[in-house]
Amino acid sequence: MTEPNKIDFRHRRVSQISDITDLVDMFFPGNRNQQHAAARILLALKAASAPVPSLSSLENKYNISRRTLQRTRAKLSRLGLIQRISWMNIRYNGQQGWKLSSRISTALRQLADKIDQWRKDDQPERILKDEQLVELLK
């Protein structure tokens, strides 16, 4: 049986993450090449004190194909785990490159807050509005 290729984001799975291999396995299930590339990218960015100008050095150093590295980098960027810094960003004084991002953790905290807020909101107007919105989904 083949492994699924979708992100495995079950609540029990998330609570069992203990290291980087569990994290990349959750984001890249069933693809060992992308898991390896993601782990190498994340470790390289974690070790860097400044934005990393290029991730292409990982290709030769760890024998990762260019296609795998680019696809993995793109997915990590879309997820908000890494971000590209432009030389025009004044916060980094003209430096450019890749760095670890806090976007995903911020977004997940906001999502958790929204869910808690919705669950606790038992005002009659809100319940009526939710019912009307669900009716529109038919």
- The token pair that represents 66 in the structure block: 């260019």
Burial of 34 (0-12, 13-18, 19+ CB in 10 A): buried
pLDDT-based confidence at residue 1 (cuts at 50, 70, 90): low
pLDDT score, position 5: 74
Compute the average pLDDT of residues 37-65: 95
- Residue 29, judged by CB atoms within 10 A of its CB (0-12, 13-18, 19+), counts as middle
Write the pLDDT tens digit of every residue in 89-112.
777 787 899 999 999 999 999 999
Query: CB count, 10 Å around CB of 82?
Result: 24
Q: What is the pLDDT of residue 58?
A: 96
- Classify domain 1-101 by CATH number: 1.10.10
Look up the pTM and report it: 0.85
What percentage of the chain exceeds 90 in pLDDT? 75
Q: Which pLDDT score is estimated for 116?
A: 95
pLDDT at 95: 87
Each as own residue / partner, the long-range contacts of residues 60-69 (CB below 8 Å, 24 or more positions apart, any chain) are 62/36, 62/37, 64/33, 64/36, 64/37, 64/40, 65/33, 68/33, 68/34, 68/37, 69/37, 69/41
Q: What is the mean pLDDT of the chain?
A: 91
Q: Is the pLDDT of residue 2 over 70?
A: no
Burial 47-79 (b: 16+ CB within 10 A, else e): eeeebbeebeebbeeeebeeebbebbbebbbee
User: With contact defined as beta carbons under 8 Å apart, do 50 and 97 qualify?
Assistant: yes
pLDDT at 74: 96
Give the pLDDT of residue 89: 76
- From residue 54, alpha-carbon distances to 34, 66, 82 in Å are 18, 12, 13
